[in-house]
Chain A
Amino acid sequence: MSKPLKQIHLAAHFPGVNSTTVWSDPAAGSQIDFDSFVHFARTAERAKFDFLFLAEGLRLREQGGEIYDLDVVGRPDTFTVLAALAAVTEHLGLTGTINSTFNEPYEVARQFASLDHLSGGRAAWNVVTSWDAFTGENFRRGGFLPREERYERAREFLDTAHELFDSWDGGEILADPASGEFLRDAGPGAFAHGGKQFDISGHFNVPRSPQGRPVIFQAGDSDEGREFAAASADAIFGRYRTLEEGRVFYADVKGRLPRYGRTPDELKILPAASFVLGDTDAEARELAHEVRLQQVSGATAIKYLEHVWNRDLSGYDPDGPLPEVDPEPGENTIALGRASVRMNGDPLAVAREWRELAAAEGLSIRELMIRTTARQSFVGSPLTVAQSIDALVQADAADGFILVPHLTPGGLDAFADTVVPLLQERGVFRREYAGPTLRDHLGLAAPRALAPVRG
């Protein structure tokens, strides 16, 4: 008896302000006009994807004291664009990245509950914890959170949001014109939360939504982030480069679940992945190389190096060797507003590793950057790509992938038309949606409301 095949989950990341997006290609369209989002979402839905994913950044990135201008800049408000997309799709899940530091639970909970109502149960929340003072300058509290409190606030934020979602159990609304009873009783919505980050109470004003609560995603890579995910998330948006890295991450995170009384299938691991398709593997490899050259120009390569070096390297030749000088230690002041910079571990260690790699293979700065900034990516003919995706999922390196095309908005079309049918033939990807909600797509059980506070 062979093990039954795991079913693959697929999602589409509408590229935001990342460096993956090739905007200079003549086929590249707008990253902000609504038509782009409609095209992208409809392609994802045609391909029976689980959901569409949006990242978020609440301040424009800066480098060397200036607004960063080499990547796409400018994106819409997450909630608003997802609500509009609910009108032009029927099944596709709608996952929005919303920060737990620069928001308040009452407002975010009612936005997600509203989105879940307005989409018929398709809302998901990627809880991110960027905490920096740089971003804080756009907000009332001015404020920022000490780094070590970012997950404390995230955990309490999510707990509080759940208390709000659960303050309605779904059976309260009678709307009976004959008896004149709109509500069964006067209790719904009552909540009281007293904690270190939030001390709030009152009545939540959105009735229980189709999914009860949005699906919860987590996207932070630290130990605390993984623990937060194991305790509270339905899915992880991950970032890793190789099969081995993937398996280690997968085993680590799934291994944390029993502590919280959870089973492995209650947390889906969905890494980000780019892809390049060609008629043949050789053609795809060639195309992929061209794409990488477009993604990492000489100027971009220097900027990337500065993220680690934390100093001005504009005098260096991108086609030359790595700088002799070491990275500037301490808080990164050269590149602001980047999650990847915040997540960089020890810059001196990274520099050492890169120097060794560059020396061993004779790489220029640009070549090195092309190599080291590549994320998990699928390159090949549709058959090769379908096989690799399936192999990674069956090998427990992932439960599926969040695909990040390099072209907006048409970059998903070829994948939908060529790879998806092959996965369907292999019996590892749905041909039809099993149910209307995102929880149905992800195979997650509907949450029960916790006993609400009555007051």
Chain B
Amino acid sequence: MPVHPSPSASPSPALHLAVALDGAGWHPAAWREPGAGADRLFTAGYWAALVAEAEAGLLDFVTFEDSLSLQSTDPAGPDGRTDLVRGRLDAVLVAARVAPLSRHIGLVPSVVATHTEPFHVSKALATLDYVSRGRAGLRIQVSERPDEVGHFGRRTAPLDPAELYAEAADHVEVVRRLWDSWEDDAEIRDAATGRFIDRAKLHYIDFEGPRFSVKGPSITPRPPQGLPPVSALASDTAVYPFLARSADIGYVTARDAGEVRAAVAALPATPHLFGELTVFLDERQATAERRLQRLDAAHGAAYTSDSRVFAGTAADLADLLLEWREAGLTGFRLRPGVLAHDLPAITRGLVPELQRRGVFRRSYEASSLRGLLGLARPANRYAAAASLTSPAA
């Protein structure tokens, strides 16, 4: 029987916290730090340990970065560098691989909408929801990279970003319709009539758009959460219309409380807006700054990011998060500068600090990602439509 997460009984926590997992961390020199495990980046054990650490810290979810090209500092193609982490595993598969080893934390892989089939993505995420028993989420991205275009050979560069986001919105719409294409009680196993399903509860989605059309229904029954939460990064206000249309969670790269307020005002209907921050955490601010400088020196350049970069103590970071929460954010996606160092600093330093301030959970209050995020399990759009049109019994 599918797991149907109950709507969270306890009040949802005051602040939500996610961590973005990528390679050895977000600083380019992170892989050279002690304990970084750079020779284990392509093993399941490496990812399982990170997720276990995040779960021990009661975080809402982790995200897994991904791309359909080799990492590069050059947006046009490979940069030929040998001093940075190169190569990565498929994020959906990494999330699935760690799912049976964790119990509470949400698992949110990144998927590039630009070159993938919504039909495949929909069933993959539904299946991630089954194997994690209701903890799947999706982070959708677009790709303008010309080298990725060359990896698929189906379209020509340059791609127009506005067009890519419109296409991604269609992609998400198709994925969600497919999740809904089976009603929850479609499987009837009626031995008397020999019918395994009630086919009236399966629906063709008949999506017709300018970019693609998809018939449906899905081959995978509706996932435990109904609709796993969809999230996306907005490193630019140009992405806001896409967020508004397609995301349950938007990650905003604000620099200060003013920018936070602007984002919140621009996206009134998005259920969750998370602040996106890269963090270097130590006992003292000076230590954190020195560590960042040391990493920069090893790398040979100062670290830059689309997000605000925070180097300091857990207490100071807690102050900043609370200030931004006051400005309207509901949570944060933190990018640890060095996973080996800054992830435990989050789970063992920042989390207790937030708990002391009464703004973070002390135990998991729900078994699904939607439950943790305080999002109700959505009704099935087709079931709703059917019950509106069916005559009263």
Contact = CB atoms under 8 A, between A and B. Distances in A.
A32 B130 contact: yes
B321 to A, nearest CB: 32
A203 B69 contact: yes
Contacts of B78: 186, 189, 203
A300 interface: yes
B202 A87 contact: no
Interface stretch (A177-185, A219-227, A285-293): A177-185
A140 interface: yes
Nearest to A142: B213
A76 B130 contact: yes
Interface string B188-205: 010100111111001000
B82 A182 contact: yes
A59 interface: yes
A59 B115 contact: no
Interface string B57-101: 000000000011111000001101111111111101110111111
B182 interface: yes
B38 A182 contact: yes
B202 A60 contact: yes
B131 A104 contact: no
Contacts of A180: 32, 83, 298
Q: Which of B97, B147, B198, B211 has the most CB of A within 10 A?
A: B97
Interface stretch (A144-152, A194-202, A275-283, A378-386): A194-202
Contacts of A80: 92-93, 96, 123-124, 127-128, 131
Contacts of B258: none
Given A84-B131, A104-B115, A118-B94, A75 B151 contact: no
B93 A67 contact: no
A19 to B, nearest CB: 11
B39 interface: yes
Interface stretch (A107-115, A229-237, A245-253, A392-400): A107-115
B238 interface: no
A5 interface: no
A364 interface: no
Contact of B147 (A110, A140, A185, A202): A202
A453 to B, nearest CB: 13
Nearest to B119: A138
Given A71-B196, A86-B97, A140-B212, A118 B44 contact: yes
A75 B81 CA distance: 43
A180 B301 CA distance: 14
Contacts of A205: 67-71, 86-88
B124 A118 contact: no
Contact of A77 (B97, B150, B212, B220): B220
A204 B220 CA distance: 30
Interface in B110-150: 115-120, 123-124, 126-128, 130-131, 133, 147-148, 150
A256 B124 CA distance: 37
B95 to A, nearest CB: 8
Interface in A71-107: 71-77, 79-81, 83-84, 86-88, 102-104, 106-107
A201 B152 CA distance: 8
Give the interface size class of chain A: 35 or more
A224 B142 CA distance: 39
Contacts of A139: 117, 119, 212, 214
Contacts of B202: 60, 67, 73
Q: Which of B41, B69, B87, B128 has the most CB of A within 10 A?
A: B87
Contacts of A200: 150-153
Contacts of A183: 82, 86
Nearest to A193: B153
Contacts of B255: none
B92 A79 contact: yes
A59 B87 CA distance: 33
A32 B221 contact: yes
Contacts, number: 234
A66 interface: yes
A23 interface: yes
B187 interface: yes
A182 B83 contact: yes
A34 interface: yes
Contacts of A120: 44
B219 interface: yes
A202 B221 CA distance: 37
B93 A118 contact: yes
Contact of B196 (A72, A75, A106, A185): A72
Nearest to A201: B150
A86 B2 CA distance: 22
Given A33-B1, A117-B43, A184-B82, A67 B99 contact: no
B131 A186 contact: no
Interface in B262-303: 298
A57 interface: yes
Contact of B97 (A59, A60, A84, A142): A84
A181 B213 CA distance: 46
A202 B69 CA distance: 8
Contacts of A201: 150-151
A69 interface: yes
B33 interface: yes
A82 to B, nearest CB: 8
A120 B44 CA distance: 8
Most buried by A among B88, B96, B99, B202: B96
A186 B82 CA distance: 6
B96 A182 contact: no
Contacts of B93: 79-80, 83, 111, 114-115, 118
Contacts of B71: 205
Contacts of B98: 87
A205 B151 CA distance: 11
B123 to A, nearest CB: 4
Interface in B3-35: 31-33
A86 B213 CA distance: 34
B39 to A, nearest CB: 4
A23 B38 contact: no
B70 to A, nearest CB: 4
A44 B118 CA distance: 33
A34 B31 contact: no
A175 B31 contact: yes
A80 B217 CA distance: 19
A137 interface: yes
Interface of B: 1-2, 31-33, 36, 38-39, 41-44, 48, 67-71, 77-78, 80-90, 92-94, 96-101, 115-120, 123-124, 126-128, 130-131, 133, 147-148, 150-154, 182, 187, 189, 191, 194-199, 202, 211-217, 219-221, 298
9 contacts: A24-B191, A33-B130, A71-B196, A73-B197, A80-B93, A80-B124, A117-B44, A119-B44, A201-B150
Interface of A: 23-24, 30, 32-34, 38, 57-60, 66-67, 69-77, 79-81, 83-84, 86-88, 102-104, 106-107, 110-111, 113-115, 117-120, 137-142, 168, 173, 175, 177, 180-186, 188-189, 198-207, 297, 299-300
Closest 5 CB pairs of A and B: A84-B131, A83-B96, A80-B127, A114-B90, A137-B215
Given A60-B219, A81-B127, A200-B153, 14 more contacts: A24-B189, A58-B219, A59-B219, A66-B199, A74-B187, A75-B219, A79-B124, A80-B92, A80-B93, A80-B131, A103-B120, A106-B115, A118-B89, A189-B86
